[in-house]
């Protein structure tokens, strides 16, 4: 059986249709995945195979295109931070100069070096001393980590770049949702296109499964949004979350989609409880049950976890 690179819960024969989900099938798939991850006496690679795998990944890291990906990671993260900050505001992402939000002075080049400039300035503006939001630094660090993980997870530089682009899109969407409660249509559309492209590659879930996953994702979330509005009279799910499910559904496919939603729901609930219990919410904030939560960020995080699980199922 050929195991698809992008299938974790239910490894599939490439380009063959997958059957519907049931609890016994999910449990059987989990057992199969566990055997793939931990070895069952037949599939576990020996020390020589591990050594060969590590050697191949070392050669992958020193590959010029892969090395370029890693070196560009911090700069891509800086651009993604600008994108997440300006796109929801309707500001130009390319033409406008980077400037301080407090004093509006244009930042010199030495203050635009990713990670380094933030650390050297201790998160303060050079001109007015205003604090720079720390999520800008976190975005640059996360984008760099994504580049490194993508290189380590792939033996092909092209696949490494595509995985990095996909994860960078997830990062940007998560940041925009966390900071602005917005999921821009442009980013959702690009995410769908990249997810469909990944499905066409060797080891992908196939365009049929990707399309079905996208339709199920959008349809189910639209139905949930409609039903909640009819029952409560308010919007319980943003339209951006519905559009986001097109790209995430195309990435997950119909069988891994329930896992993605479950991970997102659990992480969103945990994040909301932690935020509430640690007292970070304002005293005049509404109760937790009536408070808006950035569920799109949880969905993006769950998709990243699913990507990691699929990589682990293929390692080495």
Structure confidence by residue, pLDDT tens digits, 147-195: 999 999 888 889 999 999 999 999 999 999 999 999 999 999 999 999 9
Which of 126, 158, 182 terminates a domain? The answer is 182
Tell me, what's the pLDDT at 241? 95
Indicate whether 178 and 193 sit together in one domain: no
3-state secondary structure of 268: helix
Indicate whether 173 and 198 sit together in one domain: no
- 22-42 mean pLDDT: 43
> Within a domain: residue 8?
no
Tell me, what's the pLDDT at 295? 92
> Within a domain: residue 15?
no
Indicate whether 230 and 290 sit together in one domain: yes
Q: Is the pLDDT of residue 213 over 60?
A: yes
Indicate whether 85 and 172 sit together in one domain: yes
Q: Which domain holds residue 70?
A: 48-182
**Residue 292 and residue 240: Cα distance in Å, rounded?**
14
- Say if residues 266 and 305 touch (Cβ distance below 8 Å): no
> Within a domain: residue 9?
no
- 198-209 mean pLDDT: 91
> What are phi and psi for residue 99, nearest 5 degrees?
-145, 165
> Residue ranges of the alpha helices (H) in the chain?
23-38, 47-61, 64-86, 116-120, 134-153, 157-180, 185-200, 207-232, 239-277, 295-314
> Within a domain: residue 206?
yes
- 208-215 mean pLDDT: 97
Indicate whether 111 and 205 sit together in one domain: no
> Within a domain: residue 245?
yes
CA 13 to each of CA 72, 214, 252: distance values in angstroms, whole numbers, following the listed order: 36, 20, 16
Indicate whether 147 and 192 sit together in one domain: no
Which of 150, 182, 214 terminates a domain? The answer is 182
> Within a domain: residue 24?
no
* pTM for this entry: 0.77
Which of 123, 150, 182 terminates a domain? The answer is 182
Tokens at residue 17, please?
Answer: 């249709």
Q: Which residues contact 72 (CB under 8 A, 6 or more apart)?
A: 147
Q: How far is CA 44 from the centre of its chain?
A: 29
Q: Is the pLDDT of residue 247 over 60?
A: yes
Q: Angle at CA 7, nearest 5°, toward 3 and 9? A: 110
- Residue owning tokens 């069988």: 255
Indicate whether 75 and 137 sit together in one domain: yes
Indicate whether 131 and 216 sit together in one domain: no
Indicate whether 219 and 241 sit together in one domain: yes
- Say if residues 9 and 33 touch (Cβ distance below 8 Å): yes
Indicate whether 172 and 190 sit together in one domain: no
How many distinct structural domains can be found in the chain? 2
Percent with pLDDT over 90 in the chain: 46
The gap between the terminal CA atoms of the chain, to the nearest Å, is 18
Q: What is the dihedral of CA 39, 43, 45, 46, to 10 degrees?
A: 90
Indicate whether 151 and 163 sit together in one domain: yes
């Amino acid at each position: 059986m050929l195991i698809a690179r992008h299938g974790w819960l239910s490894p599939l024969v490439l380009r063959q249709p997958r059957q519907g989900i049931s609890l016994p099938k999910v449990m059987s798939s989990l057992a199969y995945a566990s055997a793939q991850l931990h070895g069952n006496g037949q599939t576990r690679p020996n020390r020589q195979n591990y050594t060969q795998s590590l050697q191949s990944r070392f050669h992958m890291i020193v590959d010029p295109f892969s090395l370029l990906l890693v070196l560009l990671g911090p700069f891509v993260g800086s651009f993604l931070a600008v994108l997440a900050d300006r796109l929801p505001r309707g500001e130009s992402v390319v033409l406008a100069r980077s400037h301080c939000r407090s004093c509006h002075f244009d930042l010199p080049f030495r203050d635009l070096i990713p990670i380094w400039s933030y650390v050297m300035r201790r998160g303060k503006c050079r001109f007015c001393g205003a604090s720079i939001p720390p999520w800008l630094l976190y975005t640059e660090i996360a984008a760099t980590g994504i580049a490194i993980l993508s290189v380590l997870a792939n033996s092909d530089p092209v696949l490494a770049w595509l995985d990095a682009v996909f994860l960078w899109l997830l990062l940007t969407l998560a940041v925009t949702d966390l900071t602005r409660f917005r999921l821009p249509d442009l980013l959702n559309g690009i995410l769908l296109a990249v997810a469909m492209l990944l499905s066409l590659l060797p080891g992908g879930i196939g365009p049929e499964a990707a399309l079905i996953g996208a339709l199920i994702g959008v349809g189910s979330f639209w139905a949930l949004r409609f039903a909640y509005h009819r029952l409560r009279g308010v919007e319980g799910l943003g339209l951006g979350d519905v559009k986001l499910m097109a790209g995430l559904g195309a990435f997950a496919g119909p069988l891994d989609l329930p896992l993605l939603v479950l991970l997102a729901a659990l992480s969103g609930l945990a994040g909301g409880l932690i935020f509430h219990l640690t007292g970070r919410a304002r005293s005049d904030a509404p109760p937790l049950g009536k408070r808006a939560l950035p569920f799109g960020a949880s969905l993006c995080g769950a998709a990243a976890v699913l990507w990691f699980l699929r990589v682990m199922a293929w390692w080495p």
